[in-house]
Structure 1
Amino acid sequence: MKRASERIAQPGEKISIKIDPFDLGAITLVTDDDTVPVPCLDDSMRGRSLSRWMDQQTEKKTSG
């Protein structure tokens, strides 16, 4: 496993970002050689689906 201080990708290398729409608690960075899970800094996002998060954002806009 790579240390946090190491580069995820070489300069110029493309990185893809994957999300799980059923759990926004982390994203995955995908390079040519590796996949790197990155947890969300907000613990309340673990297990929260994208559709639920979008509903909550709509609720905030209409009630605020």
Structure 2
Amino acid sequence: MKTLLSSKPVLWFLFLFLFNAAVAAVAPFVVDGTQGVMTAVGMGVVAAGAGVSLVRDRGVAE
């Protein structure tokens, strides 16, 4: 597990997942109306994609 978490691709995608998830959670409160909701949905999709790629590519070594 330690080698998995210390690899560069995992750290990069983990950062992307956490950043996009945070933006998705905050966007509706910062941006009003439809634009805030659509920003949250879009960033949530990106965060989900980064999370899925972490799980899917877990066995692939660099």
**TM-score when normalising by structure 1:** 0.24
Q: Going by fraction, where is helix more abundant, 1 or 2?
A: 2
- Please tell me whether Structure 1 or Structure 2 has the larger radius of gyration of its CA atoms: 1
- Structure with the higher strand share, 1 or 2: 1
Q: Which has the higher contact order (CA 8 A, sep 6+)?
A: 2
